Structure 1
Amino acid sequence: MSANLKEDKQVSMIKYYVNSAITILLIFGFQFLPAVKPITPYGMQMVGIFLGMIYGWSTVGIVWPSLVGLIALGFSKYSGYSVVNAFKEGYGGDTFLFIFFVLTFAAVIDKSGVTRVMAKWMVSRKIAKKRPYVLLLLLLTAAFLIAVFVSVMPSIVICWSLLYQFSDVFGYTKKDQYPKIAVVGIVVAACMGVNVFPFKAYDVMMTAVLTKSTGLNVDYVPFTALTAVIGYCVTLLYIVMAKYIFKPDVTLITKSDFVYSDTEKLTSYQKQVVALLAAMVILMFLPGFLPANLYLIKLLKWIGNTGIFVLLLAFGVFIKRKDGTLFINYADCVKTGVPWETMALMGTALPMASALTAAGTGVQEWLNQLLGPIFGGHGAFLLIVLVVAITIIASNVMNHVVVGFVMMPLIIQFSSPAGISPMLLTASLCIISQIAFILPSGGPLAAFLHGNREWITANEIYKYTIPFVAVSIVLSIVLCTTIGRLIY
């Protein structure tokens, strides 16, 4: 057994170094291949870096392919042949800093314990008594809201913990279908909530690409309206499919008088944290409701979104709690709240997305030639169908961040000729790319779901997610072509 394990490790190491060599070869060597017109030699260099990073992200990891890709970008005309300029744009830009402070702020909320109190309050409603699908609705809604206002991982971990408690009380075992369906459903709801606000990390990355290419700025109100509708409707769809298609045995719940009552009240500190969260939401959305000529709105725009989060964090670090301790332990929140692998990917992907289709590369012209017959000239409806279907299917195979950066140039290129707002497709992309649960390669959350072998097997995940993803494609298309067109 140990010999086989050693052999497997050797094979894994060989694959790692072979894939690493291919990654480096693509990043630095692709540019020497003959240019495919209308792509220029400069464009071949950009395509090579992009392909190399995608291959590296998919096979060997996130961090070093991102760093090497950014160094390669520093040897190009795009960054003025300066590695320093490449890193300044990637790691020193407003988008990178904004996401950094947003994630730090989210860690403040999570560490306060507010999320657990929120989840417990939600599932303790008496309306859930003897009603298994109402209980599932409350549990998934809690997961959705925690992901919206805080972060996705606390949402999943807390709601899974509550589910395990319910299962024990009702008499469900790890072999029963109802808790298995709920395990998947919690991940679905969390993924549907995580990108509702346009200042979440993935949304900021995608909208930054759009803004840099088109000059369009994000209006938070319509963006959030569309993502919230799609996200929560997809969550409700899962509950409907659980009841009418998956049909688990729910008699243990319908015959029980149990109502969850292990609730907690917010402490004075947690109430203060909630007030800080409310202040953040108000300040971020206020410009969408009040006239632009008001002094307050002008001031908020002058400070900028990044500045708002910095000021809120600075205020939290400045004040002290009654016992003299820090209201916000900034260093601890940065340490636990910022996923540095994601930050490394973002620091490279943001400038790379702009560089790929920059003037003089010929990539935009090539995309027109290659994909014009598919994406162009067919009107808004077909474009929405193609974007939604391709995004969701691809996101279940490869990391949704990669899918997003591949799809954004197509959205920018073909939306206006089709008579549709690129912001509609961008907002839709941000939420539907999270419908990625089938394969572990779909992203860290899909891998996290597949890693819960104690409660659900891979075959059971396929049983629930494959039909759900298929129906989600249809629902997303309907919502984008109706509500989406009304909003945008």
Structure 2
Amino acid sequence: MYIHSAIGFAIMAIFWLAPAAAPLTPIGMKLVGIFLGMVYLWSTVSCLWPSVLGLFLIGLSGFAGQGFAGMKAVVLTGFGNDTVVMMLFIMVLFGAMDEVGCTQYIARWFLTRKIITGRPFAFLAVFYLGCYVLSTLVSPITSLLLLWPVSLKIMKTLGVERTDKIWPIFFVGMFFISAIGMPFFPFLSAQLVVLSAFDAMTKGTMPVPYLPYMALNFIMSMLLIVTFLGAVKFIFRPDISKLKAIDAERIAEQEKLPPMNIQQKIMMAVLPTFILMLLAPSFLPKSLAIVKLLGSLGTIGVAMFWIAILCFIRIGGKPIINFKEVAYRQLSWDVFFLVAAAVYAANAISHESTGVNAFVIQLLNPILGDASEMVFVAILFTAAIVLTNFANNAAMAIILMPIILAFCGQLGLPPIPIAMGVTQLVFLAMLTPAACPHASMMFGRKDIYEVKDIMKYGFPMVTIGLLYFIFIGYPLAKFLFGA
């Protein structure tokens, strides 16, 4: 930890002390060093204290003003950002669903569908859909923590051993599909950091509509799930005879849960209603009063409305959401501070006073300046998926945003499809423990995975995912975003 921290400090110090290379300005040099140092520390050490350190150094740099006025401006702007406030309320709202136990019922529902009985590929498809749904609603970590013990029990019951070929294929696929589900909701988790940074860099002139963004993730995810199942059947070809003994009724008996209580039922109804309220302005006539109201509330307003309602309504003398208790267990301070620091830093380095955008164009113009549209997309997407296996995925996507914006302007390309393709693609990274927190979890489960298994079955799927995003995802994003 101390070695990585020293490297992070050194990155910041070098840029802080080195003379500015035109067209970078002295403040631009400092901000680039601070941001790159934060990215390194986020990827190797922690998210919380490097974010605080980064905001402190930005305040010290003079970017927002001199002395205490500059420091105060950084803190107020960083933590007063609407994205940071929205993150707080949404983490509590979605975390409450896990807190009251809804996720256990969702997992059990997928595992007890009668269609899986005696049908190995139906079982794999339904199980992986369950991984995907849980990952979208909460996180890949929650999906894995819930389904690892259940799936291990199922494998033991079916007599599947670690030496059986289907074992590593099944579990690597479980991780891969949990990972692709993570960026589904644009107002949750690490993807919110990237979208907020993109919004900051474009000064709010290119808002990303939720519905096309979610449609892009869903279509690409389903395509990748089908491809993985096809690879299992026709390429990997493990012996799946033991899975033919799968029985939905037996799983239902083994994984018994009491009937859902009123609190759980209300939360199961609130979440889809919340999502519908956010998406309604995307597909309902703008002239409707309710659409105008929802549009004026925005994500923050809708989240605050439901938090207030759920804290007010009491069942058995207790509120549906006890804000303090849910926030204590579900509010990720790492992500909260990461959002504050990343969004502010992204806005700062893209400011014209830093010279960063001009420097990026000057540096990369020999490589990308004359590239065709598809070559440009292929280079960016490949760089994104390779680099994010060695760095924090959200931070790596943010690093690429100035490049996307600079060269899209120069090449006359629409930036949103490329930016959103990168945003979703980076979450496929799974080939090193540094790729993301849940990748660290995967590599840590020596009782389930071996590194060679992850590479043998994960590497082909990551490569296929990259090719899909270049040749299918990008044209699809152009269509969905109307570019």
Coarse TM-score class (shorter-chain normalised): over 0.9
> How many angstroms does 1:48 deviate by?
1.6
Aligned equivalent of 1:237, options 216, 227, 248: 227
Mapped contact 2:384–2:400 kept (Cα < 8 A): yes
Distance (Å, rounded) in 1 between the aligned partners of 2:368 and 2:190: 24
Task: Please give the residue correspondences for 1:338-353 in structure 2 after superposition, counting only pairs within 5 Å.
Answer: 338-353=331-346
Distance 1:22 1:148, change over 3 A: closer
Distance (Å, rounded) in 2 between the aligned partners of 1:72 and 1:221: 37
1:375 pairs with 2:342: no
> How many angstroms does 1:255 deviate by?
5.4
Distance 1:328 1:26, change over 3 A: same
Compute the TM-score of the two structures, normalised by the length of structure 1: 0.91
1:486 pairs with 2:479: yes
Look up the match of 1:304. 298
Aligned equivalent of 2:212, options 204, 207, 222: 222
Mapped contact 1:395–1:433 kept (Cα < 8 A): yes
Task: Please give the residue correspondences for 1:237-276 in structure 2 after superposition, counting only pairs within 5 Å.
Answer: 237-254=227-244, 260-262=251-253, 264=257, 265-276=259-270
Q: Which amino acid aligns with 2:31?
A: M
Aligned equivalent of 1:45, options 25, 30, 51: 30
Q: Which amino acid aligns with 1:269?
A: Q
Look up the match of 1:70. 55
The size of the alignment, in residue pairs, is: 472
Mapped contact 1:27–1:72 kept (Cα < 8 A): no
Same amino acid, percent of matched pairs: 27
In structure 1, runs of 5+ residues without a counterpart are 1-15
Look up the match of 1:211. 199
Distance (Å, rounded) in 2 between the aligned partners of 1:487 and 1:167: 40
Look up the match of 1:26. 11
Distance (Å, rounded) in 1 between the aligned partners of 2:276 and 2:339: 27
Comparing 448-457 with 240-249, greater Cα deviation is found at: 240-249
> How many angstroms does 1:236 deviate by?
2.7
Comparing 206-215 with 104-113, greater Cα deviation is found at: 206-215
Distance 1:20 1:253, change over 3 A: closer
Task: Please give the residue correspondences for 1:69-468 in structure 2 after superposition, counting only pairs within 5 Å.
Answer: 69-81=54-66, 82-214=70-202, 215-254=205-244, 260-262=251-253, 264=257, 265-321=259-315, 323-468=316-461
Distance (Å, rounded) in 1 between the aligned partners of 2:122 and 2:392: 33
Mapped contact 2:368–2:376 kept (Cα < 8 A): yes
Deviations 1:445-472 (A, max 9, x none): 1101111111112222122111221222
Distance 1:60 1:477, change over 3 A: same
Distance (Å, rounded) in 2 between the aligned partners of 1:242 and 1:418: 41
Distance (Å, rounded) in 1 between the aligned partners of 2:373 and 2:460: 26
Q: Which amino acid aligns with 2:141?
A: M
Mapped contact 1:377–1:417 kept (Cα < 8 A): no
1:55 pairs with 2:40: yes
Distance 1:71 1:120, change over 3 A: same
Distance (Å, rounded) in 2 between the aligned partners of 1:148 and 1:58: 23
Q: Which amino acid aligns with 1:70?
A: L
Deviations 1:230-289 (A, max 9, x none): 223223322222222322221112356665334655433322111111220111101111
CA root-mean-square deviation: 2.0
Distance (Å, rounded) in 2 between the aligned partners of 1:430 and 1:17: 30
Compute the TM-score of the two structures, normalised by the length of structure 2: 0.92
1:472 pairs with 2:462: no
Distance 1:430 1:232, change over 3 A: farther
Comparing 284-293 with 409-418, greater Cα deviation is found at: 409-418
> How many angstroms does 1:299 deviate by?
1.9
Comparing 292-301 with 84-93, greater Cα deviation is found at: 292-301
Distance (Å, rounded) in 1 between the aligned partners of 2:409 and 2:119: 47
Comparing 59-68 with 89-98, greater Cα deviation is found at: 59-68
Comparing 417-426 with 127-136, greater Cα deviation is found at: 417-426
Q: Which amino acid aligns with 2:180?
A: M
Distance (Å, rounded) in 2 between the aligned partners of 1:481 and 1:218: 15
Deviations 1:321-346 (A, max 9, x none): 1x222211111111111221222222
Distance (Å, rounded) in 1 between the aligned partners of 2:146 and 2:6: 41
Deviations 1:131-167 (A, max 9, x none): 2222111111001012222333221222222211211
Distance (Å, rounded) in 1 between the aligned partners of 2:111 and 2:438: 23
Distance (Å, rounded) in 2 between the aligned partners of 1:314 and 1:177: 51
Q: Which amino acid aligns with 2:40?
A: Y
Deviations 1:283-329 (A, max 9, x none): 110111123333222222322211211110111010001x2222111
Tell me the SS of whatever aligns to 1:456. coil
In structure 2, runs of 5+ residues without a counterpart are none
Distance (Å, rounded) in 2 between the aligned partners of 1:380 and 1:358: 26
> How many angstroms does 1:382 deviate by?
1.8
> How many angstroms does 1:129 deviate by?
2.2
